[in-house]
Structures are given as structure tokens and as C-alpha cells.
Structure 1
């Protein structure tokens, strides 16, 4: 693995690191389940240079593996890992900093990069934990509950009160408590009625790629774009406002048309 590619730090790059950190659990989980054609983690060495550690194993919050520069053995704390990658049937999984660097290249440079790299680099698949600890995980949780036909589970991923505030602000109406409560109840009833009339969508075997469009730290909400890649090759892109509540849980608000 080439450890010499330079990357410019930006908000987009910081989101890439965020995605790598919050999907590291999947890398560990896969290492413990089966073997891959190639695996590696990226960390900062003693010289302050980010390098890859290959053919790693995981135990007690540490990765052990081989440094490609000198074939030396190395142990690295999982807390110090900024990226991970797997190769399965010639396909790159993870490798967020690699993808970010590739996206910065011109079309001609990308062709040369792909030839040198020798792997298939497609949309990817973001394996956030399906829980409410991240906005992306909240979306996955909602979609999993849809697939399981669990109305109660789907409702647990929503925040109709804050969605009501969003809707009222967008329509230019006064945000008064009584109106918020009434709107929230109407949104909840409409949500339930829509699922009962049209059924719940199925997200089985779907792959996902997330992108953060807006992060409003003051209001603790984010606009997240989700690209869905179905097993038949079809793609769908949706954008959702997602808000963090007082319990540090992220809940889905409204779909942005």
C-alpha cells in the first residue's frame, strides 16, 4: 500500500475520517468472522506520518500486523486508527482516505490511479452501527425496522416534535408551543397512515453511502444525504434532517424533497 499520497485537510476530509472511525466496528467484526484477500489499518507512526499496517489481527483493542516498508511487526491501538480497508473479490471495502484522494484527481489521473491500484473502487458501503448514536446509524435503524415491518421500531427513530418545528419554520409560520404540538401529532398520524396504506419499504441487501450536507451544531441537527444502491444496480438518493435529542440520541425528522 502506497503511504505517500498527500491529502488536503478540509471539512469533507474530516467527515471521511468520521465515517472511517464509526465503521471500524464492522472491520473488526469481519476480521473475527472470516478471512479476506487483503486487510489493513491506517495510523500515525512515530515520525508523525500516516502509514498502513497490513495483514492485521485484532485482540484486546489492539491491531497487530506488518509494516509494508520494512516487513516489521507492529501493534497499534484501535484508538489510533484513522482508516481501514478490506479487499473482497477485487473490490475495495472501506479505504475512506483512499477514496477521498482518488476523488480529488482528474478523470485521466483516476484512470491511471485505478490501473496502479488494481482494485475495483465503486460507491462503497458505509457500515454505521444500526443505532441512534449517529445520524447515519439512525437512518439505518429506521430502514431496518421498515424491513422488519416494525411500526413501533420505526416510530422510535422519529422525532415528530422537532420535525414539526422544522416544517413550521419552512412555511414561515409562528413557532408557538400549541401549534408545534398539534403539528407534531398530525405528522405522526400521517406517518402511520402512510405506512399502513402503502406498506413498509424493504431495504434487504441494500448498500448505503452517506454524505453530510449541513451540520448545524447550535441546533444539533444535520442534513444527511443517503445514496441507496440496490442489488439490481438501481440507485436512489434521499436527504433527511436528523436531530440529536437531550439523551444524545439522533432521531429522524423530515425528508427533504
Structure 2
């Protein structure tokens, strides 16, 4: 991948770098399991210029490959990578700095840029670890537990007390422990009734793209653009809160 592009540093761009960092585990997993397509990582060279290293092999905590611009062989430490990309079935996965630049273009320029690159852009998937170490991972974990019909897993991803406090705050109602407890109990009961009435939602083989919309007081409003295997699509917006000792928890869904 040899593209010299100018990128404006914004909050959205920093979020893209965050997504690259938190999904790097997936790239490493593919490479260590003999991924045969195009692969590359971006890093800062000795001249403080960001460049791509492709044809990646991982050995003892190092990326080994060749510089896209010169073909020179080089190795760098895994923690030096700021972005990663693979091309699979003619589509870009990862490549968050490329994606950010692509999103800034008009429709005609997007088409020309894809032709120049030789692959489709905007068809990717955000591969956060499905656990509560990140807000996005907590959402994925919750949806996986729904798919497995695992009620204990679902409840482990929720915090009804923080959700109750959000409801009180949004409605300008004074908070007290008794009211919080009552609302939290109702929220938990409502979830059980919803699952009994309508069944568990199913999220197998879906594609997710996340956006950070807002953050405050250790809570984040995360948008999930989700594409299902039947071609249907949807957008969910969740408040997600960081707990003291148990990672991130998914709160209320915003309509």
C-alpha cells in the first residue's frame, strides 16, 4: 500500500486510530494463522514519516515485511503499529487511516480513489474483542450472549442501576437510593419480559461499524451500524458506562 495522503487530525481521526489499536489483535490472529491475501501495517519510520510495511510475517513479537514504497525488507516491533489492513475478496478491512481519508471525499473522488487503490473501501468490519474491555466490545459481547440465548451472559453486560440514574437525570428527577433501586428492578424485569415475549435477538454473522458520538462522566454514546447476513441493515445507539471493577457495561438503547 503506497498512498501519500494528507489527513486532518480531528476527534474522528483519533477514534479511527483507537479502532485500529483495539482491533490489531484480529490482524495478528489472521497473520499467525497463515492469511494468504494482501496484508500491511503502518508505522512511523526514522524520519517521522508514516509508511506501510506489507507482506507481513510475525516472529517473536516483531512484524517482518517489506516497505511498500521501496521493497526494502524491514522489521518493527508489534507495538509500533498505528494501523493495519488486509484485502480480502477485493475489499479493505482495517485500514482506518485510509477509511478516514476516503470518507472525506466526494462521491466521484471516492470512486476514483477505489480504482487507484484496487479494492473496495467502506465494506469493512470493526473487530473489537468481544469482551468488556472496551465500550464497543461490551456491545458485541452482549449481542453474542443474545445469540447464544445466555441470560446470565446478557445480565453480565448490563448495569441497571447506572441506567436508572440516566433515566432520572434525563427527566430532571432528584436521585435517591430507593428510587434508583426501584427503577433498576423494573428495567431488569422488563428485559426478562421482553425476551420471553419476543425471544432473543440474533446477531450471528453480522458486520459492525462503530462511531463515537458523545462521551461524558465515564460514559460514551456509541453508534453501531450493523449489517445482517440477509442484507438488511440497522443503526443502534447505546450509552455504555465504565464500571469500577468489571469493565464496560451497556446501558439504555437510544431511539
Residue 236 of structure 2 is matched in structure 1 by 238
Residues 128 and 136 in structure 1, CA contact (< 8 A), matched pair in contact too: yes
C-alpha deviation, 1:23, in angstroms: 0.3
Q: Give the structure-2-normalised TM-score.
A: 0.97
**CA distance in structure 2 between the partners assigned to 1:109 and 1:52 by the alignment:** 22
* Rounded Cα–Cα distance in structure 2 between residues aligned with 1:145 and 1:215: 25
CA RMSD in angstroms, aligned pairs only: 1.1
Partner secondary structure for residue 51 of structure 1: strand
Report the CA distance between 1:69 and its aligned residue.
2.0
Deviations, residues 38-91 of structure 1 (Å, cap 9, x unaligned)? 000000000000000000111222111001222111111111111101111111
**Normalized against structure 1, the TM-score is what?**
0.97
Q: Which moved more, 1:134-143 or 1:30-39?
A: 30-39
Name 1:54's counterpart in structure 2.
54
Distance between the aligned counterparts of 1:60 and 1:145, measured in 2?
34
Q: Aligned partners of 2:141 and 2:171: how far apart in 1?
A: 29
For 1:177 and 1:145, how far apart are their aligned partners in 2? 30
Q: Distance in 1 between matches of 2:119 and 2:3?
A: 16
Unaligned runs of 5+ in 1: none
Tell me, in whole angstroms, the C-alpha distance in 2 between the residues paired with 1:208 and 1:106. Answer: 23
Distance in 1, matches of 2:9 and 2:60, equals 31
Q: Please give the alpha-carbon distance, in whole angstroms, between the structure 1 residues aligned to 2:36 and 2:210.
A: 24
Alpha carbons 2:93, 2:123 under 8 Å: kept? no
Cα shift readout 1:104-129 (whole Å, capped 9, x = no counterpart): 11222112111111101133100000
Structure 2: state its 5+ residue gaps: none
Distance 1:68 1:2 in 2: 6
The 10-residue stretch of structure 1 (107-116 or 152-161) with the greater mean CA deviation from structure 2: 107-116
Corresponding residue number in structure 1 for 2:125: 125
Deviations 1:135-188 (A, max 9, x none): 000000000000111000000000000000001111221111110111111111
Q: 2-side partners of 1:36 and 1:233: how far apart?
A: 27
CA distance in 1, matches of 2:60, 2:165: 45
Equivalences for residues 1-257 of structure 1 within 5 A:
1-216=1-216, 219-247=217-245, 249-257=247-255
Instruction: Please tell me whether the aligned partners of residues 123 and 209 of structure 1 are also in contact (alpha carbons under 8 angstroms).
Output: no
Partner SS, residue 99 of structure 1: helix
Contact 1:36 1:88 survives alignment (8 Å): no
4+ runs deviating over 3 angstroms = none
The number of equivalent residue pairs is 255
Aligned mates of 2:203, 2:187 — CA distance in 1: 23
